[in-house]
Structure 1
Amino acid sequence: MTRHPRTGPPDSPPATSGGMTGRERWILAVLLTASFTLAVDFSILNVALPLIGRDVGFALPDLQWIATSFALAAAGFTLLFGRIADLFGRRRLFLGGIALLGVSSLAGGIAGSPPVLLAARVGQGLATAAVVPAALSLLTTSFREGPARDRALGLNGALMAAGFTTGAILGGVLADLLSWRWAFFVNVVVAAAVLLVAPAVLREPPRAGRPRLDVPGAVTVTAGLLALVYGLTLAGERSWTDPAALVWLAAAAVLLAAFVRIERRAGAPLVPVRILRRPAVGIGNLAGLLAFATETSLVFLLTLYLQKVLGYSALVAGLSFAVLGAGTVLGGLLGPRVVGRLGGAGAICAGLVVQAAATAPLIFLGPGSSWMPVLLAVTFVGGVANLTAIVGFMVTATSGLPDGEQGLATGLATMSQQIGITLGIPVMSAIVAARIGSPGGGEAVAEVLSGISTAITANTALCLAAALLVALALRPARRTGVSAGATT
């Protein structure tokens, strides 16, 4: 078992207990502002979709493409852009992505037809695919492995979690008080501010030699991820037996298998196979995928419960998740301390076990509103635990790698996040639908509640399975200078 030395930028000052330097605070402010803004973009338009459809001319069945076009671009290109950041410059890609975010958001804000709006959403998705791994790799290379990097990753996780919740609330406020178009225009202002400050703050050493991009690998992995996300989306909207969904998922399997074959033979692979063989990278990303899948799908299940069983309005249901949002923010702040005591793998295990313990009581939810205090309390605890696990995942999946591979590492982590978010809801939705669609079943409250209970049971089991996998594969240990799990 080999421990990797700490990595960091050549001019990084030694880590001290006195806190961050002034420049490090500016770096953190710029990168976290960008990450928070992109997290907001995931959910800011959801509440306003009916208004957008009316104003721009979308038919009701086509509204989902406003979200799907964004998700396809964001998930499909994130691994490619993560590697491009390593090869051609993280700072350059970050600034280019922020500029694209500003331009595409301006186009979305003034859009008068569906094609223009969808093109704008694709542009925002591409900007997300470029900026998120670039920002994360700039963050991990600006702070040495250890408490400073863990704290930065924890703050990043807390603000991204807050961004998802803020987006849902801000979207409703802007739509009611101003116009849904301001959900786009806000990004223009933020992008301009970041582009004004970032060039003076972000630094990166020049690259030696002429980089080579693995074009066949880039084409197959991007096409494979696009097919995977689109297939999962179709499965969630229709069913897991839908022929079109199965065709796309099969195409994804073929393309991704071809990608692995190409990478094994490539002289300069997009994703070196040796990196994927590292337990901290492979198992860490799988655990991160499951952490995102379980929590986002739980929100979907509880939304069904609050609206279909308890009969609450969409607004009340949305506000109920503010407690979960507060828990995730706290988890992002506490996560680095847990990593400091238990290591990255230990934080994943502890977070997922506590998340499972907090989710388990929801299996017994009943049809009365008396369950609301229990729901709010356990979702708060689950939110803290989930973000603790996610911070542990980010630390584990990016530790022990040289600076030249941090873009790839953060690209893989971002891809795991995107696939987890996309995968969780269709799987849990299928479990609920299977119960409702069983012989004698219907959409009566009892059948819906039974389906939700079964899906929450599966959700709890997935948390425990992921924790067990990490415990067996990475052997969590107390931290001794580097993150546990950063081994070969």
Structure 2
Amino acid sequence: MTPPKDGEPDNSSRSRDNIATLDESTLERLGKERPQSFSGVWPEVAFCFSIVMSQILAEYYISGSNVLLPSLIEELDFPAAAAIWPSTSLSLAVTSTLLIFGRLTDMFGGYAIYVAGAGWLTISSILCGVSQSWLMLVICRALQGLALAAFLPSGVMILGKTYRPGPRKNFVFSLYGACAALGFFVGIFFSGLCSQYLTWRWYFFIGAILSAITTLSSIFYVPRDYKETRAHGASMDWAGCALSVSGTVLFVFAIAHSSYAPQQWRTPYIPVCLVLGVVLLATMTYVEGWVIKNPLLPGDIFAVKYMKPLAIALLFLYGSLGVFLLYVVLYMSEFMGATPFQMVAWTVPMALGGLILCCIGGLIFHRVSGTILLIISCLGYIGSGLFFAVIPPGGNYWAFVFPAMICGTIGIDISFNLANIFITTNMPKAKQGLAGALINCTLHMGIAVMLGFADIVHSETAYLGMRESYKAVFWYQTGLAIFGLLVVIFFVRIHEAKSDLTVDEREALAADAQARSSTACPDEV
């Protein structure tokens, strides 16, 4: 920072003095106020719409493709071993590039990466809709994954930088999390509509229209932050990029494809890819931790208290969610005879529950211990799998499916919202992109890896019959959620999300106190 010239006031000192005078009531008021970057209520509403659409579109493209799969296999002549790749290619592209786009966000700002991601999602969605072969569709789905990988961390960064800790931030992040369940419902709705009355291509064309609307809204209402972000001087870690992408792709591919390989795990390329993936990821850990000065995933993010056990718990909880979203659709279709539109109706509680929890979360997150809320979330994950694990033949909707959907929305909405608030509140503005990347990397890595193991469970228990094999998968999902609960109970402590100073403000006060201490005369010290 340039020192003030003679006769000029020291604005930095004045700013730190102003920060120091903020009492609890003032912080509470600031935490409820609309950010100064918005001139009124409608610009803020348009801004929030632009950002939450990233969640809706991400879940739209994850959930809906499962319902479309029978139509895709029939029309594009998918080989049996390639049937998982319309979904897996998207998740794999997202998982392997999230950290890279998180760093790009910290380099160039949330606005540029977010708008670029929205625009690219529009283009790649159109390419999916005009695909003429199964291979072209799989490649275009991976291109969609790149768009989502740009979308998600930049969206979290923008929200984290725009809102200071307090009730207003809690509410906006609750709304953002609720849109995951809403996007799941929207994806199921339009895939069911297109499967039954139109063609699978319109599912992607509708997604392209929604993406184009989001792009236009973002251009006009998301604050521009290029100059501010470039001032932080962040740079790319190319070694981390190469190791993270290659290691993640090989590792996830080996697990996800093992059940579909000609000889499963005995197929030579499966263990080879797994070992290479592990070696590359281990090399990345060493290089990032002890060699590179600007690592893609800095170790100081895990220096935040309880960050490590929280990340481990979320990995298992989000993995449980991925298993639930896929196998519930398959079970309802194959064993309960649900048509696409029936599945739409049956998943309504997830969407409505998410919106209700959004409103409740904004009111209670700053009043109730985060640990208690996270435990409730874990119980929701457990319940979502348990109801399907014990459902008897001919089990009805209201006794089993309805409570499972309620538990599912309790699980994902509370945990996702708390994770977003906790991580963004504990990271400075210069690393908000990294915070968004870590959250979503945990989410998609958990889904990709745990879903791969779910396919292994399904394959290895096939001798029990299809229905019992599915129930074994739901028991596996329940076990993942129970493990996440135990980690939370024994190792995670999160306080209420109250109004507070930002990390940057606390660092400014600490630096000022240190400077004054060093310049004070001995008697004063």
Both structures adopt the same fold (TM-score exceeding 0.5): yes
C-alpha separation between the residues in 1 aligned to 2:66 and 2:383? 30
**1:391, distance to aligned residue in structure 2 (A):** 1.6
Match of 1:373 in 2: 398
Q: Does 1:474 find its partner at 2:517?
A: no
* 1:459 equivalent among 460, 477, 480: 477
Match of 1:260 in 2: 285
1:96-245 counterparts in 2 under 5 A? Answer: 96-203=116-223, 204=225, 205-206=227-228, 207-208=230-231, 210-238=233-261, 239=264, 243-245=268-270
User: Is the Cα contact below 8 Å between 1:99 and 1:195 reproduced in 2?
Assistant: yes
Q: Does 1:77 find its partner at 2:97?
A: yes
Distance 1:18 1:481, change over 3 A: closer
User: Is the Cα contact below 8 Å between 1:174 and 1:180 reproduced in 2?
Assistant: yes
Distance 1:117 1:426, change over 3 A: closer
Letter in 2 for 1:14: L
Match of 1:62 in 2: 82
What TM-score, normalized by structure 2, do the two folds share?
0.79
Match of 1:251 in 2: 276
Q: Structure 1 residues 292-301 or 161-170, which shifts more?
A: 292-301
Q: Does 1:419 find its partner at 2:439?
A: no
RMSD of equivalent CA atoms: 3.1
Match of 1:291 in 2: 317
SS of the residue corresponding to residue 137 of structure 1 reads helix
User: Is the Cα contact below 8 Å between 1:78 and 1:133 reproduced in 2?
Assistant: yes
User: Is the Cα contact below 8 Å between 1:43 and 1:167 reproduced in 2?
Assistant: yes
Task: Flag structure 2 segments of 5+ consecutive residues without an equivalent.
Answer: 1-19, 23-28, 507-525
C-alpha separation between the residues in 2 aligned to 1:57 and 1:434? 26
Letter in 1 for 2:101: F
Which deviations, in whole Å up to 9, do the C-alpha atoms of 1:347-402 show, x marking residues without a partner?
A: 22221134435654544322233x43221342133123212122222222332110
User: Is the Cα contact below 8 Å between 1:342 and 1:476 reproduced in 2?
Assistant: no
C-alpha separation between the residues in 2 aligned to 1:221 and 1:336? 36
C-alpha separation between the residues in 1 aligned to 2:272 and 2:145? 24
Which deviations, in whole Å up to 9, do the C-alpha atoms of 1:250-298 show, x marking residues without a partner?
A: 2221111111111122111111112134344322222222222113323
Distance 1:358 1:66, change over 3 A: closer
Higher-Rg member (1/2)? 2
The alignment-based identity, stated in percent, is 21
Distance 1:260 1:435, change over 3 A: same
1:418-437 counterparts in 2 under 5 A? Answer: 418-437=444-463
**1:47, distance to aligned residue in structure 2 (A):** 2.8
C-alpha separation between the residues in 1 aligned to 2:286 and 2:176? 35
Q: Does 1:443 find its partner at 2:465?
A: yes
User: Is the Cα contact below 8 Å between 2:354 and 2:409 reproduced in 1?
Assistant: yes
C-alpha separation between the residues in 1 aligned to 2:454 and 2:204? 31
Distance 1:430 1:131, change over 3 A: same
**1:116, distance to aligned residue in structure 2 (A):** 3.8
C-alpha separation between the residues in 1 aligned to 2:294 and 2:44? 33
What TM-score, normalized by structure 1, do the two folds share?
0.84
User: Is the Cα contact below 8 Å between 1:279 and 1:473 reproduced in 2?
Assistant: no
C-alpha separation between the residues in 1 aligned to 2:159 and 2:308? 21
User: Is the Cα contact below 8 Å between 2:387 and 2:404 reproduced in 1?
Assistant: no
C-alpha separation between the residues in 2 aligned to 1:326 and 1:312? 20
Q: Does 1:405 find its partner at 2:423?
A: no
Letter in 2 for 1:459: Q
* 1:383 equivalent among 405, 408, 414: 408
Match of 1:9 in 2: none
C-alpha separation between the residues in 2 aligned to 1:26 and 1:383? 29
* 1:16 equivalent among 32, 39, 45: 32
Q: Structure 1 residues 326-335 or 130-139, which shifts more?
A: 326-335
Letter in 1 for 2:454: M
SS of the residue corresponding to residue 368 of structure 2 reads helix
**1:409, distance to aligned residue in structure 2 (A):** 1.0
Letter in 2 for 1:413: I
**1:173, distance to aligned residue in structure 2 (A):** 0.8
User: Is the Cα contact below 8 Å between 2:105 and 2:154 reproduced in 1?
Assistant: yes
1:265-280 counterparts in 2 under 5 A? Answer: 265-280=291-306
SS of the residue corresponding to residue 113 of structure 2 reads helix
User: Is the Cα contact below 8 Å between 2:256 and 2:451 reproduced in 1?
Assistant: no
Letter in 1 for 2:277: A
Match of 2:382 in 1: 356
C-alpha separation between the residues in 2 aligned to 1:397 and 1:100? 27
Which deviations, in whole Å up to 9, do the C-alpha atoms of 1:191-226 show, x marking residues without a partner?
A: 333333323322215322654211101111121222
User: Is the Cα contact below 8 Å between 1:359 and 1:460 reproduced in 2?
Assistant: yes
C-alpha separation between the residues in 2 aligned to 1:365 and 1:52? 30
Which deviations, in whole Å up to 9, do the C-alpha atoms of 1:308-351 show, x marking residues without a partner?
A: 55565666456533434443443444344443233444322221
Task: Flag structure 1 segments of 5+ consecutive residues without an equivalent.
Answer: 7-12
Q: Does 1:393 find its partner at 2:419?
A: yes
Match of 2:52 in 1: 32
C-alpha separation between the residues in 1 aligned to 2:147 and 2:173? 21
Letter in 1 for 2:31: A
C-alpha separation between the residues in 1 aligned to 2:295 and 2:106? 12
Q: Structure 1 residues 21-30 or 266-275, which shifts more?
A: 21-30
User: Is the Cα contact below 8 Å between 1:362 and 1:375 reproduced in 2?
Assistant: yes
SS of the residue corresponding to residue 366 of structure 1 reads coil
Letter in 2 for 1:464: I
C-alpha separation between the residues in 2 aligned to 1:243 and 1:301? 28
Distance 1:103 1:368, change over 3 A: closer
Letter in 2 for 1:465: F
Q: Structure 1 residues 64-73 or 260-269, which shifts more?
A: 64-73
SS of the residue corresponding to residue 418 of structure 1 reads helix
C-alpha separation between the residues in 2 aligned to 1:354 and 1:195? 34
Letter in 2 for 1:112: Q
